[in-house]
Amino acid sequence: MLALRRGPLVARIHSHSRSLSTASSSSPIRRGIYATAFVISTGLFAVYYFDARSALHRYILTPALRHTLDAELGHKIAVKVLKSGLGPRDPCSDDSRLKSEFLGKQISNPIGLAAGFDKDGEAIDGLFNLGFSWVEIGSVTPKPQPGNPKPRVFRLLEDSGLINRYGFPSDGHASVLARLRARIPAFQQTHDNAAFRPESVLAVNLGKNKDSSLDSIDDFITGVRNFGPYSDVLVVNVSSPNTPGLRGLQNRDLLEKLLDGVTKARDDLPVSDLTSTRPKLLLKLSPDLDEAQIIDIADVIKKSKIDGVIVSNTTIQRPKSLISINKTELGGLSGAPVKPYSLKALRTLRSYLPSSIPLIGCGGIFTGADALEYAKAGASLVQVYTGFGYDGVGTCRRIKDQLSEELEREGTTWSQVVKRAVDELSLKPEVKTSPPNDEKGEKSINQLIADAEHLRVLLDTLDKKLEVEAEQD
């Protein structure tokens, strides 16, 4: 009986042992399959993530940030990701139709990033990696300052707009300068720009400390001296609505003093060891100027040595079309609602400046068609800001692709569109016209009469002299 009982038990033990042996032998295979699947899926995700064109960014990651975090925190996280070197990249080369020229420099495309996104120069290279030809950091103030109290940034989702009252929060000149110096390649090479990338531009937007005297220009002059050696372009920002008294520097007398001061400071700089040149100087204006103010500003610009103008900053106007609950917040409005104001100001300024002074358009640019509209209004380049915040890291590539399609459809290039618009819309030089023929004839007759009268006097004098000599004989 015991043998009979032990038989089935032994059989079960042997069976269990065989199953354990089979499971044990299959475990490495199963683990290998899982590991392979994980590596492949991770690789595919990485390829998808690091491509700025990926729908992952536009339709998943960017909306997730927008709907789960407040505007300022989402902004800060985006900057940190791009700073880390782990941000997405634009993998494509720029279409030759997009080639641009600005202040004698060739630029690969006309799409730049406006100041305000990377305020302290933390993510410069991450932003260039997204395909922007022009990255403008700042505004940077001489001394560190916290800016205005929070909350100070408000999305207007229904209006594709944004209201901010940041008030120039800044790490200050010393910290930003340290970051710019840290970017300099360890092995000295010859560069023709401070971006350290071909056909690109690095700009620094200069701001003013809140506690500085209202009519003082010292903060801007300090900015020129500090950042001149490390930038291609310096932007004098007198148009933010969030620093009390700053827009007053757009008034004629103060603007003359400011532009004289900053251009002299720039001209006194030694040639940069990095770029073998001195930086260009641009003025950034408000879209809220009326025509009389623009005429005054244009007159000051023409008499100064400023190199160009950015039009425009944010607006304090509130279109009746706004529907977002945040439309009543104080601050500067940017995005789609500012576009009509910026375009109007740009067209007006273009008509009062000669073609030799280039303009950069900024305000409400979300698509290639928007960019082209600015070019046809006389802008040599454009900048994006709010559109980048809403549409994510693929914004620059999408705008470039759309713009290429628009230009191909019209059978032209960006440079040709700009040249045609600037030649047509800019202030024409005064032509000295010759007087009408009847005036010429009248002057000729009068001259003949005068000459005849002069000859008659000479003859009378000669006759009298001869009569005197005859009497003496």
Spatial contact of 322 and 155, defined as CB atoms under 8 Å apart: no
Cis before 88? omega within 30: no
Which member of 100, 200, 212, 240 is catalytic? 240
Convert the pLDDT of each residue in 217-255 to its tens digit: 999 999 999 999 999 999 999 999 999 889 999 999 999
* Residue 246 burial (C-beta neighbours within 10 Å; 0-12, 13-18, 19+): buried
Low-confidence ranges of the chain (pLDDT < 70): 1-26, 30-48, 188-190, 431-473
Length of the chain: 473
Encode burial over 295-325: b for 16+ CB neighbours within 10 A, e otherwise.
Answer: ebbbebbeebebbbbbbbbbbeeeeeebebe
* Residue 254 burial (C-beta neighbours within 10 Å; 0-12, 13-18, 19+): middle
Q: What does the block give as tokens for 292?
A: 């009389």
* Whether 272 is catalytic: no
Convert the pLDDT of each residue in 438-449 to its tens digit: 555 555 566 666
CA 147 to each of CA 139, 167, 300, 344: distance values in angstroms, whole numbers, following the listed order: 11, 5, 31, 30
Cis before 312? omega within 30: yes
